[in-house]
Amino acid sequence: MAAHGENVLMAKFTLDLFRYDEKVDDVPHRDRVEIDFPETSTVLDALEYAKAEVDGTISFRRSCRSAICGSCSMNINGVTGLACKTPINTVMRDDRSVKVDPMPNFEVMKDMVVHMDPFWDKYSRLKPYLQPADRDEDHERERRVSPEDMKKLVAVANCVMCATCYALCPVISVDPSFAGPAAIAYAYRFIEDVRDSKRKERVGQISDDYLWLCAHCYACSYCPKHVEPQDDIIALKRISIEEGFTGAGPRHALVVSKTIRQSGMLNENEVIVGTVGKFNFKGLLKIMPLGLRMAAKGKVPPLFLKPVENVNEIRMIYDALEVPVG
């Protein structure tokens, strides 16, 4: 907690806190806790002060107070982040309050403490440990990695498993089966580790499982440790295509890419058929009622698209970015 020294500027403000105890409460309520505290301190410091001096039942997780342990992720004025890395004066609202809620996308246990099991289950499912080809039980020699190979893993090695990205991900909120950005970033960490021997299996698992549910909204780029899981997701999608995986996800990406390269526009008919699979008669039969309903309402997109003017410029962008095309 920040020292209340002579040079520390004290400030009166309100912590507007989410309160709920799953063991006793039917519905959550809010408490407004007034404190006089240095506003250059962090939100976690303010919560610690409120708990120590005002109400000992206020609950939240924390440990290191240095953005290392990943425990104190919570929602501050509607944005999830680490409370120990968030200075109060950067989030103070006009009415001199700071609103604190638990992370979204999790069930609440008590106040800001949430049930983390889904997050950890998805992470464990990806076998987040090195599986080298030759097990060296006696550890007689090092497994050396070149600085060049290590560069790819540096960002993800900074992950503190705080689940901020998981809480920010809109896909998790609509489809809880999605692994979420942190677990996928960890899969990438082992897939790109030259010491690991399970590259193909890992890419297959992540590709079949949930990788392609990511909507590329970039919300997880708000990672407090700058891991940039959204970049690892894009890299993994590319790797899964290069490794020859052909599920609906890769098919969709390739056919979208192909139609835009051809005409500069999305050919929706070709995208639907290409995603379901040209020879997947069962799948095509399944979507036929939707096609008929669209036809009845006059909403069937044109079958053939004339290339837009200067379509060559679009193709040059594709070539420059080496975009895979189906």
| Residues at the site binding ligand FES, with contacts judged by CB under 6 A | 62-65, 67-72, 82, 84
Backbone angles phi, psi at 9, to 5 degrees: -80, 115
User: Within 13 Å, how many C-alpha atoms sit on residue 206's CB side?
Assistant: 36
**CB 82 to ligand FES: min, Å:** 5
Q: Which does 165 bind (CB under 5 to 8 A by kind): ligand SF4, ligand FES, none?
A: ligand SF4
**Beta-ladder partners of 97:** 14
**Hey, what amino acid is at 160?**
V
Using the minimum distance from each CB to ligand FES, give the nearer residue, 71 or 105: 71
Using the minimum distance from each CB to ligand SF4, give the nearer residue, 217 or 292: 217
- Measured distance CA(149)–CA(69) in Å, rounded: 26
Residue at token pair 């990806």: 126
Q: Which whole-number Å values give the CA distances from 33 to 58, 64, 100, 280, in the listed order?
A: 10, 24, 11, 60
Q: Which does 179 bind (CB under 5 to 8 A by kind): ligand FES, ligand SF4, none?
A: none
Rule CB under 6 A: is residue 162 a binding residue for ligand SF4? yes
CA angle 151, 152, 154 (to 5 degrees): 65
* Cα dihedral value 223, 229, 234, 239, nearest 10: 170
Using the minimum distance from each CB to ligand SF4, give the nearer residue, 160 or 271: 160
Using the minimum distance from each CB to ligand SF4, give the nearer residue, 58 or 233: 233
| Interface with ligand SF4 in residues 208-247 (CB under 6 A) | 214-220, 223, 225, 227, 229-230, 233
Rule CB under 6 A: is residue 79 a binding residue for ligand SF4? no
Residue at token pair 């070709």: 270
| Segment interacting with ligand SF4 (CB under 6 A) among 162-170, 193-201, 281-289, 305-313 | 162-170
**CB 299 to ligand SF4: min, Å:** 27
Using the minimum distance from each CB to ligand FES, give the nearer residue, 41 or 71: 71
Using CB under 6 A as the binding criterion, the count of chain residues that bind ligand SF4 stands at 27
**CB 61 to ligand FES: min, Å:** 8
Show the tokens assigned to 45: 């410091």
Q: Which does 227 bind (CB under 5 to 8 A by kind): ligand SF4, ligand FES, none?
A: ligand SF4
Using the minimum distance from each CB to ligand SF4, give the nearer residue, 51 or 238: 238
| Segment interacting with ligand SF4 (CB under 6 A) among 31-39, 46-54, 167-175, 242-250 | 167-175
Q: Which whole-number Å values give the CA distances from 227 to 45, 86, 189, 265, in the listed order?
A: 25, 18, 11, 33
- Measured distance CA(96)–CA(77) in Å, rounded: 12
The secondary structure of 15-68, three-state, reads: EEEEECECCCCCCCEEEEEEEEEECCCEHHHHHHHHHHHCCCCCCCCCCCCCCC
What does the binding site for ligand SF4 look like in residue numbers (CB under 6 A)? 159-165, 168-171, 181-182, 185, 214-220, 223, 225, 227, 229-230, 233
